[in-house]
Amino acid sequence: MPIADLKARVDQLIWGHDLRQIAPWHARGLRVLRTIYVVLRDVLEGDITLRAMSLVYTTILSAVPVLAVSFSVLKGFGVHKDIEPMLSNVFAHLGPSGSELLGTILGFVDNVKVSVLGFVGLGMLFYTSISLLQKIERACNDAWHTTEERSFGRRFSDYLSIILVGPVLMVSAIGITGAVSSNSIVLWLSSIEPLGTWIAFSQTLIPYALVIIAFTFVYVFMPNTKVKILSALVGGIVAGILWEAWGILCTRFVASSASYAAIYSGFATLFILMIWLYVSWLIFLIGANIAFYFQYPNQLRLEQENPILLGRIREKLALFIAHKLGSAYYQRREPWTRRELAEEANVMVDVLAPVLEALIDRDLVVQTSDDPPGYVPRAAPEKITMKEILDAIRVSESTPDTIPNSSPAESWMTEIESAIEETLQHRTLKDLSN
């Protein structure tokens, strides 16, 4: 069977049904298949692989500074040694060379002396650490189709919270897990069957649960948008399972990679490390995309397309935005944010953004200094005409007019514009807002 015919049959099987007209169990199954289809398509045709490569490069540059800052905080609590076993488990996927690589990295970390670095060196240490988190935020924002980044102040505080508080919470979670496992009551219950079997089984799941919780936390915290806990958890579960499976495959790959050592010699460890980091970041981004599609199932489409609003739809969206901002003005409610406007309009933020920017460029809407910023009319709604709103959108999408003015089309367009102006000459945003 030709590949084109096979693809057509698969497309018909997955996309040839209206989910509203089939049984719920069938709809859920098709939604899962559509999610898998779309995520694989995004990996093969989208920017996910490029994002993963960029994160590999940044990780290599930032690994020592991030660990140095984290270890400095943990040393203050006297628990810095507790994180080394966890790092050993992570690097164990790289085989014997993994322990050597970890030892080298920890040696670099131990050699980082704050007293020697000075003010500029310490600033560069934090900047390099924060740059990794900024790259992660941008990758998450890309997965969630949002163009707004955190403000500098919020970025600085949020990122430092992760770098300084995150390791403490991680070590605390590991310590609590170990304390519960060795608790006398738990040990007594373990001696009673079948409770003992269930407890032993649950203890084997704890490392997987911690990985899933870590992914879920990042999916909720890092994107500069509102992510529902359930959506992040679904992405975290998928990413956690894939990450653990990749760890097993990587261990087997390293065990059979004698040929790579023969070819690359001393660079074999670096080569394997880069592959491991690349696939790990790819899994992370796949989980982020799954969380996005779970939260917004209406974005599951057969074709990979960037929605571009033209003509009447842009004008309708502009009037919709103006209506929301004008109504908020009279109701004295908090200014609408970009994300809230997009959710109300049932469009993605990157689709709404050009229309909102056009209104801002024409000085019809202004941005507040809040974080995240809100949007309000630049004047009282009765002073903003409907014609100004429509003109803002038409000017933003205009192209050079090379059509001869002598054409009959010119006279018809003049007549149409006159009719629109006559209809809207006494209409203002106040009329739209009531």
Nearest to 73 by CA among 153, 154, 166: 166
Are residues 193 and 96 in contact, defined by beta-carbon separation less than 8 angstroms?
no
Beta strands in 289-339 (DSSP E): 336-337
pLDDT score recorded for residue 216: 92
Cβ atoms of residues 58 and 132 within 8 Å: yes
Greatest alpha-carbon pair distance for the chain in Å reads 96
Q: What is the pLDDT of residue 196?
A: 62
**Residues whose CB is less than 8 angstroms from the CB of residue 288 and which lie 6 or more positions away in sequence, other chains included:** 139, 140, 143, 144, 219, 223, 235, 239
**pLDDT tens track of the chain, all 434 residues?**
567 777 777 777 777 777 777 788 878 888 888 888 888 888 887 778 888 988 888 888 777 677 776 666 666 555 556 666 666 766 766 666 667 777 776 676 666 655 555 556 566 767 777 788 888 888 998 888 887 777 777 777 777 777 766 666 666 655 555 555 555 665 565 666 666 666 566 666 777 888 888 899 889 988 888 889 999 999 999 999 998 888 878 777 766 665 555 555 556 677 777 888 899 999 999 999 999 999 888 777 766 655 566 677 888 898 899 999 989 898 888 899 888 888 888 887 878 888 899 899 989 999 888 777 889 999 888 888 888 888 888 776 556 666 666 667 777 777 777 887 777 777 888 888 77
Q: What is the DSSP string of 151-177?
A: PHHHHHHHHHHHHHHHHHHHHHHHHHH
In the chain, what are the domains?
3-44 (no CATH), 48-299 (no CATH), 312-433 (1.10.10.10)
In sequence order, what are the residues at sequence separation of 6 or more whose Cβ sits closer than 8 angstroms to the Cβ of residue 67?
105, 106, 109
173 token code pair: 């979670």
Q: Answer yes or no: are the C-beta atoms of 323 and 120 closer than 8 Å.
A: no
Q: In this predicted structure, what is the pLDDT of residue 54?
A: 87
Q: Quick one: pLDDT at residue 75?
A: 63
| Closest among 393, 313, 317 to 360, alpha carbons compared | 393
pLDDT for 95: 64
